[in-house]
Amino acid sequence: MNRTELVSNIFRKKSVLCVGLDTDLTKIPTHLLKEEDPAFAFNKAIIDATKDYTVAYKINTAFYEAQGIRGWISMERTLNYIPKDIFTIADAKRGDIGNTSEQYARTFFHTYPYDSVTIAPYMGADSVKPFLQFDGKWSIVLGLTSNAGSADFQLQQCGSELLYQKVLRTVASWGHPGNIMFVIGATRKEQLQEVRNLLPEHFFLVPGVGAQGGDVATVCRNAFNNDAGVLVNVSRGIIYAGNGTDFADQAEIAAQNYQQEMEAFF
């Protein structure tokens, strides 16, 4: 999906909601465990309930890889079920030497045709650039994350700037705002505007809203640009909004509430 298509969908739905499908078999409603493919049964119901309010789905591959081949099958079925006009993210956080990154890129852009994949940039340009060779695909590079451990490296001084600022500025030069996004944690409220000033045109994938303490208004107020420019990820706050037989109805209500918050900024 190219930038024009993504932006068009955002403004049509007046939403920047990304639903995270972090599907944990120990947390889904117990009645689904009787299904042949419990993870897919859960995801299918969540997608049906939320697709009118979201512009992206983020599949956290760890929750599927942990299940072995069964999990990979569930992931593929889920990816294929997502409507084609909704942006898809493989939250895989890959990044390795060049020839290995080439294979990771083929995995998530060809074998499993996601629109984007998250990437750890620690190994430098040759670990990221192979992902940028695929037209219409996006690399979502870790920039400023919302976990406590981000202070160990990202917030350390690196010459005249902080390390995460150097990462953002350097990685942005390897591609363009139509093929590179950055992960910017929503709990870093005081830094959202600073990052937007540094990268006025790029999209940000913003985790941390809901369970981690971030809020929609702060993200939209400080990080929006002319194309909206953000995808606000909510996982637990939507997919686990209910745990009974009405779990999908509760997920729909939660997704609609988030979308209505976002609509105020269009």
d(CA 32, CA 35): 5
- Is the C-alpha dihedral spanning 26, 32, 38, 43 positive or negative? negative
Give the three-class secondary structure for 232.
strand
**What's 202's DSSP letter?**
-
Respond yes or no: is residue 93 known to be catalytic.
Answer: yes
| DSSP code for 240 | T
Cα 207 to Cα 72: distance, rounded to the nearest angstrom:
24
From 44, 93, 129, 189, the catalytic residue: 93
Q: Tokens 């983020």 correspond to what residue?
A: 58
Tokens read off for 50: 């939320």
What count of other Cβ atoms lies within 10 Å of the Cβ of residue 210?
Answer: 21
- Cβ–Cβ under 8 Å, residues 232 and 262: yes
Closest by alpha carbon to 29, among 18, 19, 11, 43?
A: 43
The CA angle 8-94-237, to the nearest 5 degrees, is 55
Which residues, listed in sequence order, are joined to residue 144 by a DSSP beta bridge? 184
Q: Which residues are catalytic?
A: 93
